[in-house]
Amino acid sequence: MIAQEQKEIERPFIDLESACKYLSIAKATMYQKTMRHTIKFYRVGLRKILFKVTDLDEYIENHRVKTIDEIQSEALNRIISKQK
């Protein structure tokens, strides 16, 4: 079963159900993201929605939460650049 799921994820395009598994989110959440255009997707016909695995990876990377150290470092850099 796991080998089949892994094989499915290796395809460049995956369906909605596989994308939900990949991101560990509910279908309703994924439908919201597509309706609001907050995630990249491809429509095939009227009902079929596909996702590129690379786009899903990019979505995850773009939603990374910064550490407190990173936030403090950025704030310090902005203060220093304003004083120049």
pLDDT of residue 3: 60
pLDDT digits (tens, 9 = 90+) for 54-73: 999 999 999 999 999 999 99
Phi, psi of 83 (to 5 degrees): -80, -15
Q: Which residues in the chain show pLDDT less than 70? A: 1-10
Q: Where are the domains of the chain?
A: 2-83
pLDDT of residue 49: 96
Q: Is 46 exposed, middle or buried (0-12, 13-18, 19+ CB in 10 A)?
A: exposed
- The CATH fold assigned to 2-83 is Multidrug-efflux Transporter Regulator; Chain: A; Domain 2 (1.10.1660)
